Structure 1
Amino acid sequence: MSGKCKAGGDDAMQPLSQISRIWQVPDASQAYTTGVSLHSHTSFSVETLNFVHAVCSSVPFVDKIVAHYARVSKERYNLTLDFDTAHWRPPLLPLMAFELERKQILSLGLDPLVSITDHDNIHAPMLLRTIPVARRIPFSVEWTVPFRKTAFHMGIHNLPSEEAAGWMERFERFTAAPDDQELRRMLRELDSIPQVLIVLNHPIWDLYKIGDDNHAMELDRFLAQNNGQIHALELNGLRHARENRQVMELARRWSQLLISGGDRHGLEPNANINLTNVTSFSAFVREIRVERQSHVLFLEQYARPWEQRILESTLDAVSDHPQFSPGWQRWDERAFHLDGTGEMRSMAELWPRGKAPLALRAAIQCVRLLRHRALASALSLAAPRVNVDALDADAMQEIA
């Protein structure tokens, strides 16, 4: 089964979004030659530890161990554990992330186009361009855009090679000192570059926890000012089906196109892709911007219970990966916190004896056991403030 979402309005070229589910339509990709992976992250993304802390704190006994070491850290070392400034980085190095997305698309019998969007940097595509298999990868980024009481994440794809570094400097300056008029100028400039694709990522998600009503109000203000320069709204492969249905309604209200965005952070490849018959990313951008057509395919992993997928993505962050390069194998080599002098260092460097305390290691091991689906289901773990109902067929009916 597949469905089409046509936005309202009187423009000659109406946005036409087609959404399919591979478990309902196994041959959905047969009429296409190319799959496009949008919005995924590599080891260059900086991710807050708040989320991992929230999951660990929801596990019986583990929450007490975390609280204990927070007290010990303060009393013995005068170091306050700060999960807002502390961060972790996704486990996959750029080539590993690229190959994960590429191979998934190849397994569908499609030629792959992959656009990686780390948070506020383009280090991954810069490195990947030196490798023959990835030389066509676009310069893309997930730009953090402060706006009034909150911030929005925008996927800026396919920046011109000769201008990419300059744009990154401008993005950084804006994020440090946001201004509504400057934002409009920047988006108009980006929109004037035919090869650039501008996507509003996971627009419904109240990521900065200002409250659903406040977030909805700021989102409407943001779109009222900038909708004309946004080319598509993202159906996010890591967000719940109910939230994606809200994005569909948002697209109808604002006459917007829908587009895929997997938002992969761990070892599971993106849960949705775009289907097309073009052979280059710039041609795909034209299909979205000019022809206003998009076919989003949700893949098998999206049909799995949402809580388990979120949990497993979190577990990827706190697991050791001995197959990785030295210095990037242990979870505490990929997690960072300020030391007593205010310098950001890996947690592996901060442990007094070179490794995490025994009780904390035991707690982490308990969390890792939750990878067992039966135990995860029994404990009913999920991220706070997000829908926790299991994803079932009925929940997907309005998406496809």
Structure 2
Amino acid sequence: MLKNQDPVAYENKLKELTLFMGEVFKDPDARRELFDLAKIEGNDDDIEYSMKKLFSESTNPLTRQYSAIVSAFSKNAENHRVAGEDDFNEQDLIDFINDNNIGILAPYLYDNFEPESLTELTVSWWTEEKEIEELSKNPDWDGHTPGIKVKLNEDGNFIQFRKTETNYFSNDLVYANDDYAYTNPTVVFGSFNDDEMIVNPDDGWMGGGPSLPTSTIYRPHQIGVNCNNFDFNRESLRYRMPEFKMTGNTRIFPHTNKFSLWLAIGQYTIGTQTSINLNQLALEQKIARCKGSGCTWKTNFFPALVTNWAETSANIQIIMAYRKRQSDIVEHTVQVGVTSSTTGQTSNISQGLKINQERHRLIFSQTWGKCSEMLGQYGVDQQNGLRDGLAIHQFNLHRNDFKVQFTLVPEITRFE
């Protein structure tokens, strides 16, 4: 890849692509498709997409029709040839996109603006080398990316750039960050290398089988059920996180916030054999960048933590982390309780388990007990308030202005 072979040549080519895309987005249909990207499942009303994927498939991922962005890209290239740039070859830019896995981010664009009302657009570029350089100077750097503000009703920016090269950028350069992008429509291009995956939680490891029906689900206090009178033959217990919220951004501009979640639970088998299962429920689950009141509660952001809490599993340990450069989680110690099905005695087992998650920083690792939750602990204020009758749990990150908040609830399905 050019970015590894020659970072200076890579950034110059990325600048050229960025300004060319500024001209592409003068096309109203291309702008509408840009906004469509926020509606893709998993994008959380945020614009993040692989240009390599877009150009290789040439389809709008939402409508499955021919891509308006790809079409406008080709039309813009033809305009340059008509204007006398006989040596212009759009395949050169497409090869650059594919070879360097170029993607597009647009923080705040979908929530704060409408495609029909845009009169200007800031096109910006990001490089890993610049980010590493700035973070080495200041670990608390919030991030900014250089760019150009393009008037959407004017022509000629790209031609002017090709004639004047670096002078054009130095004379018209702006720097985009959260404050800027919040009030100025901005798109950022770069090789972000951010892949996402959500692990299916209903794989049976929690003793769950298929998802439980919702029509007969109760909170324990509603039917007076606790560990002492819970009937495992006609009742099933699940545990979930109904709501989740972050109060700031975990990563520097322009990156999206990404959270990962693990759950450890003990198992008991006949013959006093105990073990700990550590399973990943979510990997880099995404939340769009936010500011102030724009940081809102997310419903069912994570999948159910336990689909069928076994009688012999006394408690669980929840481990949450977020994607962060220069932080790795290699091994983590968990401690959970296991109750013997023959003696009824509970014993704690502790074990250091491998996580091996690169570029992640731990937020918290904490145990929740099954019996205390069933006795109503889930509704006791933890000095953070309540939501829908549920206690708000809160954990601070290394930065004092940032917290994660969430609620937890045990739910009983009673089979008649």
Range of TM-score over shorter length: under 0.3
**TM value normalised by structure 2:** 0.21
Larger Rg: 2
Structure having the higher strand fraction is 2
Higher-RCO chain (CA-CA 8 Å, sequence separation at least 6) = 1
